[in-house]
Amino acid sequence: MPKHGKQYRNKIENVDRSVLMSLDDAVKAVVNASYAKFDETFDVAMKLGVDPRHADQMVRSSVVLPHGTGKVTRVLVFAKGEKEAEAREAGADYVGGDELVAKIQGGWLEFDKTVATPDMMGTVGKIGRVLGPRNLMPNAKLGTVTFDVANIIKEIKGGKVDFRVDKAGIVHAGLGKISFGDAKLLDNVKAFIEKIIQLKPSSSKGIYLKSISVSSTMGAGFKVDPLSARAMVK
């Protein structure tokens, strides 16, 4: 039995996926190989020359994509007083304090990102065991613990992507939708790779960008030449 369906095989029959491609060619290949009836997500996976077991080699941050992610992100903000009003005006979907904590403790999780002002972190800590495992906990390193709630809400709604290297030294991220087209997806992936390069730990020795692959949700993956990608970003 074939491992993949006919549509998948037809899309890649004339492509040698063992060859390292330039970044722009790989993006075009992903778009051309897409076949699903829904708007697939454009994904990137990067193997980095870091050992995440060491705190000084942890690569974790966020980047605002030039063309967004193509997703509607529901933002919940823990704030009070003037900051609560500011969050509502900035477009937050849910804003509050203890009442939201109680609602979440009851099992409600109808949101995608959380933001908190520093003075609310004591309240948020009550649900750390709920939010933490789901990567929903506000985090100062990601800019989601801040008094500048209007700006962070704007960034999240505009396409802010959080990422973190896993135990194997790999960073995964969704960088838009196939319907964006080649040019916008290329802009997004260049912004992502540029951010990764900026975050290279000083303690990381040897090759930092070991491998890069791009794919769509249902489509084939294509290998990118890391040197070519680095040169294009510069």
pLDDT tens-place string over residues 28-74: 999 998 888 899 999 999 999 999 999 999 999 999 999 999 988 99
Tokens describing residue 98: 């203890």
Question: Are 113 and 173 within one domain?
Answer: no
Share of the chain above pLDDT 90, in %: 78
Structure confidence by residue, pLDDT tens digits, 94-113: 999 999 999 999 999 999 99
**Domain span holding position 111:** 75-157
Q: CA–CA separation, 42 vs 34, rounded Å?
A: 10
Radius of gyration (Cα) for the chain, nearest Å?
Answer: 20
Structure confidence by residue, pLDDT tens digits, 200-221: 999 888 899 999 999 999 888 8
Residue 1, in any domain of the structure: no
Question: Are 90 and 204 within one domain?
Answer: no
* Amino acid residing at 141: K
Q: What is the pLDDT of residue 26?
A: 94
Question: Are 52 and 14 within one domain?
Answer: yes
User: Considering its fold, how many domains does the chain have in total?
Assistant: 2
Residue 114, in any domain of the structure: yes
What residues form DSSP beta bridges with 174?
43
Kindly tell me the burial class for residue 32, based on how many C-beta atoms sit within 10 Å of its own C-beta (0-12, 13-18, 19 or more).
middle
Which CATH number fits the domain that encloses residue 116?
3.40.50.790
How confident is the model over 161-186, as a mean pLDDT? 94
* Amino acid residing at 162: D
What residues form DSSP beta bridges with 209?
48
